[in-house]
A and B are shown apart, each in its own frame.
Chain A
Amino acid sequence: MRKPTRPAIYGVMAEFDNPTDVVAATRRAYEDGYRRIDAYSPYPIEALSEAVGPHKERLPLIVLIGGIIGLIGGYAMQYYVAVWNYPLNVGGKPLHSWPAFIPITFETTVLGAAMAAIFGMLALNGLPEPYHPVFNVPNFALASRDRFFLVIEARDPKFDRDATTGFLRSLGAQEVADVEH
């Protein structure tokens, strides 16, 4: 069900042609009190992800948990099979011959952590996401080439269509455009 308070547009988008300006503009927007902002760049820029606001770093913990699950799961599987389910005497070695179980445990640990890293990253980023309003701005195709964008969403409490557009223009943007839903 559509919320009755849905704003008329998704937000306002400013376009920049260099990384220095977009980082400065994003910082200014944040300092000005805008919180529902996001910046877009053709390559990772550390300063830009800091400028859009502080965020919790949850991925490393997810990767650690994935690794631990792989570690315990891998070892437990071998222990269960070799000691309980299918005990075989091989050359008089003990059933729980743990040094022989290390290589597979190592591999399952790496597998668990790597899967957690990839699927955790995609999930936290909300990908795959087939539709997003920012693609409605024709120039946004350049976000994957050499242009940088700053978007202030209409859901931001401080958002005002005219005032925000004017604010973005004052930051030295090449172009400011409305983002349709």
Chain B
Amino acid sequence: MASRVDEPHDDLIHVTPNPVIEPGHTAASVTDKISALVLKRKTPLAWYIGFFISFSLANVLMFTIAYLVTTGIGIWGNNWPVGWAFDIINFVWWIGIGHAGTLISAILLLLRQEWRTSINRFAEAMTLFAVACAGLFPLLHTGRPWLAYWMLPYPNTMNIYPQFRSPLMWDVFAVSTYASVSALFWYVGLIPDFATLRDRAKSGAFRVVYGMLALGWRGSARHWHRYETAYLLLAGLATPLVLSVHTIVSFDFAVSQLPGWHATIFPPYFVAGAIYAGFAMVLLLTIPLRKFYGLEDFITLRHMRNCAKIMLATGLIVGYGYMMEAFMAWYSASEYEGFMIKNRIWTGPYWWTYALLILTNILIPQVLWLRRARHNTVLLFIVALVISVGMWLERFVIIVTSLHRDFLPASWAMYRPTMFDWSMFVGTIGLFFTLLLLFIRFLPAISIFEMRTILPGAAPKAATSDE
């Protein structure tokens, strides 16, 4: 059984130039500081401004959905041959963003990367909200979202069943499993912190609500032991799960026969892209958070640097994916593959989206090779924003440019997003930030109990812990 406290962390804290936690903190100060964000501290003005903007955008989403449901999906721009457009672009984009949260909470836990501790709670919340936004798109693309339960295999009077040989069905299972496991993993991580808030809360209502959510947690040694076992097992389960989810998302494309989609490189290249976009979103969120809430002691430059390095590495894998797509188009000697890649890069009407994609996803992020760039939070914020745009463009390029040139030239067409495509996309961004801001306001954005474990002196002294 691996334990997270029985190792001496003192050298880790003091030797590295940018520690995980700034020196001088104790279990008491960590607890008070993080719980005060929820219980005591005055909500900063920036929170209200942010909430106003995001909630307004979330209302744009509500209006769009209301119009969509009452009118039909014809209000979107996708039409034959581009039958999939913003709905699937945004679905893949959001799901991908969510993956960094699971990577941070599960994979980095198994790899014993202690720096993950101060950002994992936040990143897991990001996962949940991103998956919620992602789920809206396929759900509404069904046209009759109130019949979405037809996708589940249940005995019914129509005596029909879903087709399990279809990647779209795999997607239903992958995404719903991912959403359920992420939500439960997140909640389990929160239980000890709910107990902390229950014991700190002054007002009765907060006390009752946090008390109920804490399930009566009291920090018993026996409970902690099972808790740690369950947490590690969940991390071990979530790791292959997160890889499988984006693999299956890529199967939506790769299993089809369409040039530009039918490629064996898709699963690894999609997973790397998901982590790339997700870490960009983690930085986009943590940089303002640590600034406005004064959390520089807990989310240090070391976190910024490590996130930047992961982005650089996954960005290069994505770049390799682009190269392989082009190489395979030539090497396969398939006329259709060759036409697709030429059309995508320079002869087609969407060549500029590909050019922008290379600029935003491959060229600009190379600045992260510089140590100074990795320590400059303003620059990191801009690069993260650029990568988010780039990853969105990647899905646009893959989906739209592969579809708009059908096998039959007579059915070639252009895709243009309508106002409602945009309002739906922007609306989900509003929904995402609304949920995230509510999370920061009412739940501990940093895992308090895990922060206590990485403090110097958290482990019992070696003299007594030796049997």
Contact = CB atoms under 8 A, between A and B. Distances in A.
B87 interface: no
Contacts of B390: none
Given A20-B460, A121-B226, A104 B220 contact: no
A19 B460 contact: yes
A174 interface: no
Interface string B437-467: 0000000000001101100011111001100
A113 interface: yes
A106 B173 CA distance: 10
Nearest to A40: B219
Central interface residue in A63, A101, A107, A121, by most chain B CB within 10 Å: A107
A44 B181 contact: no
Contacts of A60: 229, 233
Interface string B215-249: 11111111111111110011001101100100010
B192 interface: yes
B347 interface: no
B285 to A, nearest CB: 25
A40 B195 CA distance: 13
A107 B27 contact: no
Nearest to B35: A145
Given A110-B240, A118-B230, A131-B216, A43 B450 contact: yes
A103 B3 contact: no
B163 interface: yes
Interface in B409-456: 449-450, 452-453
B258 to A, nearest CB: 16
B216 A132 contact: yes
Contact of A44 (B4, B28, B162): B4
Interface in A108-158: 108, 110-111, 113-115, 117-118, 120-122, 124-125, 127-132, 134-135, 140-146
Contact of B244 (A45, A97, A107, A130): A107
A142 B199 CA distance: 8
Contact of B458 (A43, A90, A143): A43
Interface string A79-120: 001100110101001000100110110111011011101101
B174 interface: yes
A48 interface: yes
Given A19-B459, A42-B449, A81 B153 contact: yes
B180 interface: yes
A42 B31 contact: yes
Interface in B143-169: 153, 159-165, 167, 169
B195 to A, nearest CB: 5
Contacts of A120: 230
A38 to B, nearest CB: 5
Given A45-B459, A145-B199, A23 B229 contact: no
Given A104-B164, A111-B181, A145-B31, A41 B216 contact: no
A9 interface: no
Q: A39, A43, A55: which has the most chain B beta carbons within 10 Å?
A: A43
B165 A49 contact: no
Contact of A41 (B31, B221, B229): B221
Majority DSSP secondary structure for residues of A touching B: helix
Nearest to A95: B165
B194 to A, nearest CB: 9
B449 A40 contact: no
B228 to A, nearest CB: 5
A103 B449 contact: no
A145 B165 CA distance: 52
A79 B458 CA distance: 52
Contacts of A103: 167, 170, 173-174, 244, 248, 251
Contact of B461 (A20, A77, A82): A20
A59 B233 contact: yes
B181 A114 contact: yes
B312 interface: no
A45 B224 contact: yes
Given A40-B218, A111-B181, A145 B229 contact: no
Nearest to B167: A103
A39 B200 CA distance: 21
Nearest to A97: B165
29 contacts: A19-B457, A19-B460, A38-B221, A43-B27, A43-B224, A43-B453, A43-B458, A44-B225, A47-B464, A48-B221, A49-B222, A49-B224, A57-B229, A60-B229, A103-B251, A104-B170, A107-B174, A107-B241, A107-B244, A110-B241, A110-B244, A111-B177, A111-B181, A125-B226, A131-B216, A132-B218, A144-B198, A145-B199, A146-B28
Interface of A: 18-20, 22-24, 26-27, 38-49, 51-52, 55, 57, 59-60, 63, 77-78, 81-82, 85-86, 88, 90, 93, 97, 100-101, 103-104, 106-108, 110-111, 113-115, 117-118, 120-122, 124-125, 127-132, 134-135, 140-146
